[in-house]
């Protein structure tokens, strides 16, 4: 991965713009709670009109939602309100990315990947404004530390072996990222540490997606692969002895890659969604299950 255009660390008084790039936001209680967390760190959250704005199931027209990502230009952090669907639609027109920070996960994977592919630092795969207040204290503090340029603790999962490797972090919702493959919005995966999470997908569908990654060669050349939370990813429609478990699928579809592999990292749709900086250098230890930032 080429050197990225850096994002300056935030300081108290930096401004935050609210982005509704995906599904509509029917009420503002959880949104206001998330903004209050950011304000408690000394950040200034700018006003917005995203609550109740909608075009069908989306949080406004494509033009409205694209505008959230571009204005005001003075904002140091663009924080996404919620996930759902719609962010990838905004990539049909060029987005003039600029230095700064973009925060979100789930459907926001589309924006984080596009921004990283364009060569920009500052993307954080982490809590949305509507989930931030419900995060445990350690997760909120981790996000604050990343934004303000402070060191963060290592994350621990379950190692599947493969030794250690170092590479730039590329984090994603598996479903969203799968639908970006073959587009111009996929960051360079060669030598990367790929971390995946998902929600509400049965093991056979996860099998199907990972098989697509294998068939198109997207898993070749990775330095390591980790899996976060796969919330509500079970198969209740088939007898247990006619099923593969989620862990069986994740292990079998990656067993021949010959790289470090880790399960159960605290990343994803459950409470305890650890913030990770896109494109930053990290180390994955497949023996101990540890993920640590190097730079």
Catalytic annotation present for 141:
no
Contacts of 149 (CB under 8 A, 6+ apart): 9, 10
269: annotated active-site residue:
yes
Count of beta carbons in the 10 Å neighbourhood of residue 237 = 9
Catalytic annotation, pick one of 22, 106, 114, 165: 106
- Write out the chain in H/E/C secondary structure: CCCCECCCCCCCCCEEEEECCCECECCCHHHHHHHHHHHHCCCEECCCCCECCCECCECCCHHHHHHHHHCCCCCCEEEECCCCCCHHHHHHCCCCCCCCEEEECHHHHHHHHHHHHCCECCEEECCCHHHHCCCCHHHHHHHHHHHCCCCCCCEECEECCCCEEEEEEEEEEHHHHHCCCCCCCCCCCCCCEEEEEEECCCHHHHHHHHHHHHHCCCCCCCCEEEEEEEECCCCCCCCHHHCCCHHHHHHHCCCCCCCCEEECCCCCCCCCCCCEECCCEEEEECCCCEEEECC
Residues involved in catalysis = 106, 197, 269
């Amino acid at each position: 991965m080429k050197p990225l255009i850096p994002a300056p660390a935030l300081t108290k008084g930096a401004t935050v713009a609210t982005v509704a790039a995906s599904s509509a936001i029917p009420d503002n209680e959880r949104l206001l709670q998330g903004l209050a967390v950011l304000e408690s760190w000394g950040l200034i959250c700018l006003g917005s009109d995203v609550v109740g704005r909608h075009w069908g199931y989306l949080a406004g027209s494509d033009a409205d939602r694209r505008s959230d990502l571009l204005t005001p230009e003075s904002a140091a952090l663009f924080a996404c309100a919620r996930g759902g669907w719609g962010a990838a639609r905004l990539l049909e027109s060029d987005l003039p990315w600029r230095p700064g920070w973009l925060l979100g996960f789930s459907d926001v994977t589309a924006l984080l990947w596009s921004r990283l592919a364009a060569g920009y630092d500052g993307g954080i795969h982490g809590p949305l404004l509507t989930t931030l207040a419900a995060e445990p204290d350690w997760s909120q503090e981790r996000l604050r530390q990343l934004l303000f340029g402070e060191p963060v603790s290592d994350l621990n999962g379950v190692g599947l072996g493969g030794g250690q490797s170092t590479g730039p972090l590329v984090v994603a919702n598996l479903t969203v990222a799968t639908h970006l493959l073959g587009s111009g919005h996929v960051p360079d995966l060669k030598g990367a540490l790929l971390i995946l999470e998902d929600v509400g997908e049965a093991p056979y569908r996860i099998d199907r997606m990972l098989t697509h990654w294998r068939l198109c060669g997207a898993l070749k050349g990775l330095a390591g692969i980790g899996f976060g939370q796969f919330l509500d990813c079970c198969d209740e429609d088939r007898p247990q002895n006619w099923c593969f478990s989620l862990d069986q699928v994740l292990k079998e579809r990656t067993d021949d890659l010959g790289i470090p592999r880790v399960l159960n990292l605290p990343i994803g749709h459950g409470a305890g969604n650890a913030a990770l900086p896109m494109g930053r250098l990290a180390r994955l230890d497949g023996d101990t299950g540890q993920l640590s930032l190097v730079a």
